[in-house]
Amino acid sequence: MIEDNGGGASGFADLMLAPELCRALSDLGYEEPTPIQLAAIPPLLAGRDLVGQAATGTGKTAAFALPVLQRLLAGDERAEPLALILVPTRELAVQVAAAMRSYGRDMGARVLAVYGGEPIGRQLGPLKRGVDVVVATPGRALDHINRGTLKLGGLEILVLDEADEMLDMGFAEEIEAILASTPAERQTALFSATMPPRINGMVRRHLREPVRAELGRQAPASAGGLLVRQTAYLVPRGYKAAALGRVLDLERPTATIVFCRTRDEVDQLTESLNGRGHRAEALHGGMDQKQRDRVMARLRSGTIDLLVATDVAARGLDIDQLTHVINYDVPSAPESYVHRIGRVGRAGREGTAITLTEPREQRMLKTIERVTKRPIKLEKLPTLAQLRSERLERMRTELRETLLKDDGELNAFRSVVGPLGAEFDPYDVALAAVQLAHEASEPPREDEEIPAVEQPSADDRRPARKTRPRDQGRPTGPAPRRGRRATTGTTRLFVSTGRSDGVRPQDLVGAIAGESDLSGRDIGAIEIADRFSLVEVPESAADDVVRALRGTSIKGRKTTVRRERYPAR
C-alpha cells in the first residue's frame, strides 16, 4: 500500500496562500512545496526582505512569484507595476513570465516580459495600458526607465533572480541604476546560486534586515551504505524525452521508477514512453488509492516495467525487483535525491541511479555531490550509431549463449532453416535472421541525433562564466586595424561604442549573451578601440545577434551593431 497524501492544494494552503493560487497549482500538477518554497514564501508574504540561496531547478520561481501574485489580490487595478523581476537572459524572462501567468490565471494577472532582441515598440503598448508585473533583463529595463516608458513610482516588490549570473554578465551598473530608480520602501528579494562578496555587498546596501533562506544548510543527507551506481547525462533542453528513451534502450532495466516534478509532467512523459514501445504507468496524487494499488500490482507482477511518479506519490514505496531510479530532472534538494535513490540498493542489492540534467541544472548537481559526499559520474549520451552497435553486440552475446546451451529447442526451427540452407548460403541465411530479429526488437527511432552538450571539466562542473578576463581583447597600443581576418567559421561584428564610452569586454559579452541565444563561451576575440569595438561571433549566429541587439544600450548609450564592412580578403 502507498500512503495517500491527498494531492497538492493542502500543502500550499498550509503556507497561507490564497485559494485561487492553490487551485491553479493543483491544476498544474504541483503536489507539495519544495524546500526553497517552504523557506521563502512565508517571510515574503509577511513583507520581509529575503536572500535566497538556491540553484536553478529548486522551484525558486514559484517561491517569489506566488507572494507577488498574492499581493496583487489585495489591491485594485494599477497603472504602474506592482513588481519588477530582473533576470539575466531573455529566455529566463519568457519562462518566468509564463509561469506567473499560469499561477495567476484565475486572477487575471497582467504579466509582461521585457527583453532585447525584439522591437521595443511591441513593449510600449502593454506598458502604456498598464501591467501588474514586469519581468525584464537589466539592459532593456533600464532602457525603458530612461525613456520614461517603465514607471516605478508605485513599485512595491523588486526581485533579483540569479543575481550572480547577472553580475557575471556585466550588468552590475545597470542593476545599481535600476535600484536607484525604485522607491526606498520597496520589498526586495534576491535569489542567487552562490554568494560571492559582491552579492553580499549588494545585500548590505539594498536590503533591510533580510531573512536568509539557504538550501543545503540542513543536516547532511547521506548516500553512503547504498550499493548504487550514480550517473548523470547532460541533455540539451527540449530533448529530455528522447534522451530518456535512449538511456532506457541502453540500460534495459528490469523495473524502473522515473521521478518527475509535477503530475502534468508525469502524464505527458508516460504517454511519450508508451509511444516508444515501453510499458509505462503513471503514479501521482491525482489518482485515487484503488488506481494506485492497481498500478503497483502491475509493476510487481511484471506486466509493466516503468513507473513514472512524483515524489509524493512514491512515498513508502518498496519494490524488491526495482533495479533503476531515474531523475527526469535534477531534484530540488539533496535530501530528495537521497530519498529517491534509496529505493534501489537496499538490503545488499545493487542498483543504478541516473539523472538527466540540463546545462543550467549543473550547479544543483554539484551541490548534491557536495552534500552527499558521493561523486556522480557525468557521461555523454550514446549516439544513434553507438546505440545500434550496442544492440548488435548484445544480440551476438545472446545468440552465442543460445548456441552453447543447445538444449534441443533449436530443432523446432530446422524446418525453416533446412530448405533455405539448401537454396542459399547458410551464412547469408543467418545474416537475414539476425536482421529480422534486430528490426523486430528495435524501438522506434528518433528522426534526428540529439545535439551534444559540452561537458565541464571534472574539477568544476559549474557553467562557464559569461565574462572574459579583464585583460583579454583590450588593445594596449593604437586602435586595431579593422581588416584583420576572423577565425574560420566566425565573423566579426562592429559595435559603435568603445574605450571612450567606458566599454569593457565583459560589457559586450553581457549584452550579447543577455539579448541573444549565444553564451559567453560562444563569443571569440574582442577588440576595443577608442570609438568602436569588434567582436568575433559564430558566422551562423551573426545576423541573429545583430537583430537581437538592435536598439540596445550598452553602458547607457544607444549602440549600432552590424557586420564588419571591411573584412580582409
Query: Per residue in 492-521, pLDDT tens?
Result: 898 888 888 888 888 888 888 877 878 777
Region 366-391 average pLDDT: 82
Taking only the tens place, the pLDDT of each residue in 142-180 is: 999 999 999 999 999 999 998 988 887 788 889 999 999
pLDDT-derived band at 65 (thresholds 50, 70, 90) equals very high
pLDDT at 316 (0 to 100): 58
Does 465 have pLDDT greater than 50?
Answer: no
Taking only the tens place, the pLDDT of each residue in 394-437 is: 778 778 887 887 777 787 788 888 888 788 888 887 888 878 87
Domain extent listing, the chain? 34-214, 228-384, 386-439, 490-563
In whole angstroms, give the CA distance from residue 528 to residue 477: 11
CA–CA distance from 441 to each of 109, 276, 278, 393 (Å)?
Answer: 51, 12, 12, 14
Indicate if 228-384 has the same CATH topology as 34-214.
yes
Assess contact for 537 and 491: CB atoms under 8 A: yes
pLDDT at 220 (0 to 100): 42
pLDDT-derived band at 359 (thresholds 50, 70, 90) equals confident
pLDDT at 258 (0 to 100): 94
pLDDT-derived band at 286 (thresholds 50, 70, 90) equals confident
Q: What is the mean pLDDT of the chain?
A: 80
pLDDT at 484 (0 to 100): 45
Any idea what the Cα angle at residue 294 is, between residues 288 and 296, rounded to 5°? Answer: 105
In whole angstroms, give the CA distance from residue 537 to residue 519: 10
pLDDT at 474 (0 to 100): 34
CATH 3.40.50.970 describes domain 490-563? no
Does 200 have pLDDT greater than 80?
Answer: yes
In whole angstroms, give the CA distance from residue 349 to residue 372: 20
Taking only the tens place, the pLDDT of each residue in 442-451 is: 655 554 577 7
pLDDT-derived band at 270 (thresholds 50, 70, 90) equals very high
Region label for 330, one of left (φ > 0), alpha (ψ between -120 and 50) or beta (otherwise): beta
pLDDT at 458 (0 to 100): 40
Taking only the tens place, the pLDDT of each residue in 218-251 is: 444 455 555 788 999 999 877 888 899 889 888 8
Any idea what the Cα angle at residue 192 is, between residues 187 and 194, rounded to 5°? Answer: 140
Helix intervals (H) in 406-524: 414-423, 426-441, 505-515
pLDDT at 159 (0 to 100): 97
In whole angstroms, give the CA distance from residue 549 to residue 561: 7
Residue % of the chain over a pLDDT of 70: 84
pLDDT-derived band at 487 (thresholds 50, 70, 90) equals low
Cβ neighbours of residue 555 closer than 8 Å, sequence gap 6 or more: 173, 497, 501, 502, 503, 507
In whole angstroms, give the CA distance from residue 549 to residue 562: 9
Tell me whether residue 320 is exposed, middle or buried, using C-beta atoms within 10 angstroms of its C-beta: 0 to 12, 13 to 18, 19 or more: exposed
Region 109-129 average pLDDT: 88
Lowest mean pLDDT among 77-81, 238-242, 311-315, 406-410: 311-315
Choices 3.30.70.260, 3.30.1780.10, 3.40.250.10, 3.40.50.300: CATH for 228-384 = 3.40.50.300
Q: Which residue, among 520, 531, 533, 552, has the nearest Cα to 494 in the 3D structure?
A: 533
488 phi/psi in degrees, rounded to 5? -55, 135
Q: How many CB atoms lie within 10 A of CB 502?
A: 13
* Top-tier CATH class for 34-214: alpha beta
pTM: 0.56
Does 17 have pLDDT greater than 90?
Answer: yes
Q: How many CB atoms lie within 10 A of CB 495?
A: 25
